[in-house]
Chain A
Amino acid sequence: MAQSSPRRASALAWFGPVIALLVIVMIYPTIQLFRVSLSQTEFFDPVAFVGLENFRYVLSDPDFWAEARITAEFVAGSLSLALVFGVLTAVILQSLGGKAAAIFRTILLLPWTLSMTVVGCLWLWLLNPSYGPVRYLLSLAGYDTGLLLGDPDLAIWLIVGASAWWSFPYAMVLVTAALQSIPKELYEAVEIDGGSALAKFRFVTWPHIIPTLGSTALVLCIMYVTLVSLIVVMTGGGPLGETTTFSLAIYKETLNSIDIAPAAVISIIVLIANLVLGIGYSVLSARIKRSK
């Protein structure tokens, strides 16, 4: 005789420990975050309810809009580079095929396993303006690289490069999986019609990988929006605040902890951005699963 589902109360007990954990670490702090954002604060304590005053203050602060622009630049830049390079490597290795491709894939995944502090260190050293190999190689080509990460116009784009180096393998793995699920007959059909390699990519590969690219892009966006340690290592938010994203601003203000309410407001913005991206990802990946 099969045991049926237990009574509701005893069944919910199986969820008990994890729910307790999530309430303590995630749910209660989230409620507290909203309370802090609506209060006047003294260090970390809300002392008086002020309504949306903190939001008004943050939104009228020019630094906030600079951080918004830098966050957008960072996310858009990292995303485009990681996706382009991810698709490129996936397609090339797919056409190579066999055991060799599997070995290359493993090697290319290495950056992804490294922590962002390590990635930051590697690139800080590569981009060292006095002794670094990037300066040296560019000087051979006749370029004077200047301050590199010390250059306010350049710094965020160099961090974009490092973050794309770290994250493109993720796109590569997911695109590879999508490529491997494309039926070979479709390519043969294009071949019979006399289609070029470009036509194969345009009419077979592309439509098959575009849903995967969408969900991959959402996951990557979540990571870029919340990324902190890479920037801490490479520039600490400088020069002239030109690499201070929302998440970096939260990190710095939490450590300074003089008036925490503005940081709470930015936290809420990051939180909502993440929820929207996360829900988008859940919906999209459910749709991909259903279409298979």
Chain B
Amino acid sequence: MSAASQATAGLTRSNKGLRRWLSARVPMTVSIVITLLVLAPLIWAISTALKSEVEAVAYPPAFWPSQITFENFARVLNGQNFLTELWNSVCYSFGGVFLSILVSAPAAYAAARFDIRGKTALLLLILGSSMIPTVALLVPIFGILEKFGMVNSALAIIVIEAARTAPQNIWFIRSFIEAVPKEIEEAAFIDGATRRQTFFTVVLPLIKPGLAATSILSLITVWNDYLTVAVFAPESSSRTLQVAIVNQVLDSNGISWSYMMAFVLVASAPVVTIFLASQRWFVSGLMAGGVKG
């Protein structure tokens, strides 16, 4: 073998080694850099929330507080309206999702199990109404609520949120019910159970994990909703944490940024916790075509 071809062979070999070295490390490095960039807004929010009010607006800004303080979080939690806003957020989310599941589960069962004329039309109606955006119905719903004196009513908010999340819940619950073998139900029928009894005592217990997953997705949707509450329940005693955030931004007295970031973090903590605890469901929900908005 000539020296030249030996050199070429050596070069390709080291080239291959370099390639392997790169292909092992480049994706990791790039992933870390991208993740840090994506997290930067959240890291900045945490850093700001831990600064004193004065340090938060120092220029040039410090990357990390010179002295960590929790006074902003204390101010948020002791805020005059905080408990009311938190209670409203909890009340609308749980109330809306509960009502939504309550009406969706029987419909999902019928969609999965009954073979009747008119079913397709009903399912199309449900699918169609899931395509009507909240924002397009602000005008007529406000008009209707005003006529019945139901602006600022918690019940109205719960009913609206339930209707908004119902189509998605029906779709998910139906797929869970379809996964339950029919034979299990048939055994119950032989024992003399009615449809209704079978539904409550056999089917629902079997799809509990599915019900939990779809409830969690709806819960996050309602918790994060601003529009419905802001327009239909503008009174200060009906506000949620999301509405409170916007009102503080628009407050003409100016914003305390360290307080604001603490507020935003506190308002997001429940959904982020739920997400981290149940991300597998969350991801499968996304892939099943869960549409927010």
| Residues on A facing B (Cβ under 8 Å) | 1-3, 5-6, 8, 11-12, 14-15, 17-19, 21-22, 24-30, 32-33, 36, 44-45, 89, 92-93, 95-96, 100-101, 104, 106-111, 113-118, 120-126, 128, 130-133, 136, 165, 170, 173-174, 177, 215, 219, 222-223, 225-229, 232-233, 236, 247, 250-251, 253-255, 257, 260, 263-264, 267-268, 270-271, 274-275, 277-279, 281-282, 285
Contact = CB atoms under 8 A, between A and B. Distances in A.
B246 A92 contact: no
Contacts of A233: 245-246, 249
Given A12-B116, A18-B166, A125 B159 contact: no
**Dominant SS among interface residues on chain A:** helix
**Dominant SS among interface residues on chain B:** helix
A232 B257 CA distance: 18
Contact of A17 (B107, B195, B250): B107
Interface in B108-159: 109-110, 113-119, 122, 125-144, 146-147, 159
A222 B283 CA distance: 19
B132 A121 contact: no
B271 interface: yes
B177 to A, nearest CB: 12
12 contacts: A3-B189, A14-B107, A17-B102, A21-B99, A22-B126, A100-B28, A122-B44, A219-B291, A226-B293, A250-B135, A271-B136, A278-B131
Given A1-B190, A26-B163, A226-B135, A114 B271 contact: yes
B264 interface: yes
Contact of B139 (A115, A174, A215, A264): A264
Nearest to B288: A285
Interface residues of B, number: 103
Contacts of B57: 130-131
Nearest to B287: A177
B142 A254 contact: yes
Contact of B195 (A3, A118, A251): A3
Contacts, number: 293
B218 interface: no
Interface string B163-191: 11011001000000000001000100110
A223 B34 CA distance: 24
Interface of B: 23, 27-28, 30-31, 34-35, 38-39, 41-42, 44-45, 48, 56-61, 99, 102-104, 106-107, 109-110, 113-119, 122, 125-144, 146-147, 159-160, 162-164, 166-167, 170, 182, 186, 189-190, 195, 220, 223-227, 230-231, 242, 245-246, 249-250, 257, 260-261, 264, 267-268, 271-272, 275-276, 279, 282-283, 286-287, 289, 291-293
